[in-house]
Amino acid sequence: MIRRKRKDMGGIPTSSMSDVAFLLLVFFLSTTKFDVKKGLGINLPPVSQNAKNKVKINPKNVTKVWIDAEGVITVKTFDSEELVPLNQLETKIRKIVSGNSDMVVSLKTDRKSKYQNMVQALDKLQAAGAEKISLSTN
Amino acid sequence: MAKIKKSNRPEAAIPTASMSDIAFLLILFFMVSTVFVAERGLKVRMPRAAEIQKIPRNHSATIYVDKNGTISIDDMVISIPDVNWVMQKKLADDFNVIACFRTDRNTNYGIMSDILNQLREANALRVSFEAKLKR
């Protein structure tokens, strides 16, 4: 007589597979950190090899913003000069720029001044709608 | 005699058998598309600003400057005069390269000005000062 063997079919339980998969998914979703770069953009002027490239600007169209070593901001226009606190810089520059589209804002920062002062001022200038900004130092 | 009709409605069920396939597909997608930042850079505390714009990643070359004035590009610590040729090389690879400054907020501006002059000489004229969003 041949005995019939009854074998249990071996199987991997797959019902919790989706749980594992979702767990991994959530882990990757939450740990993935996209390195988004954000900043204040500006275009530098090219180096002029000869004097021909130099453009003469009417001094009336230049506003100088001077940041000293301590971070004190002075705004110098053709006919005026005054100390301006950082929180009023935007409205001040907007007033100057809005009437004159050729206005060049020259941001001059002391070599010993902190980078943060310059970035904050540049931020305000861009917020005020100044399109022609030049960076310089003493 | 009243006949009671047996309704023969099929039970509504959402097929969940392929759920794990979808999940795995999503995992694979995220695993493949995630790019970990390979550059270690220098430790900097970036300044804050409000008017910041996104910088296209694929054109950016990051210049790290820490508060001691150490300059690092591609994890190579370099001196100020070397910025010129490093950026020229970058410019040769990508014409639209944007120099992104990751500078510590307490760095002296003098160093930054020197680097900016080097960038001008290298003709890398697109510059961006990275900052965190001010809230």
User: What pTM does this model have?
Assistant: 0.72
ipTM: 0.70
The two tokens of residue B12 are 């509504």
| Amino acid at position B67, single letter | K
Nearest to A24 by CA among B35, B16, B25: B25
Q: Kindly report the nearest CA distance between residue B77 and chain A, in angstroms.
A: 20
Size of interface A-B (CB pairs under 8 A): 145
Nearest to B71 by CA among B34, B121, B31, B108: B108
pLDDT at A68 over 80: yes
Report CB contact under 8 Å: B127, A42.
yes
Q: Are B40 and B77 in contact (CB under 8 A)?
A: no
* Partner A contacted by B34 (CB < 8 A): yes
Q: H or E segment at A97?
A: helix A86-98
pLDDT per position as a tens digit, A2-53: 666 667 778 777 778 778 888 988 998 888 777 778 888 888 887 776 655 5
Report CB contact under 8 Å: B120, A28.
no
* Partner B contacted by A79 (CB < 8 A): no
pLDDT per position as a tens digit, B112-133: 888 888 888 888 888 888 888 8
What local confidence, expressed as pLDDT, does residue A51 receive? 56
Report CB contact under 8 Å: A28, B30.
yes
Q: Kindly report the nearest CA distance between residue B61 and chain A, in angstroms.
A: 11
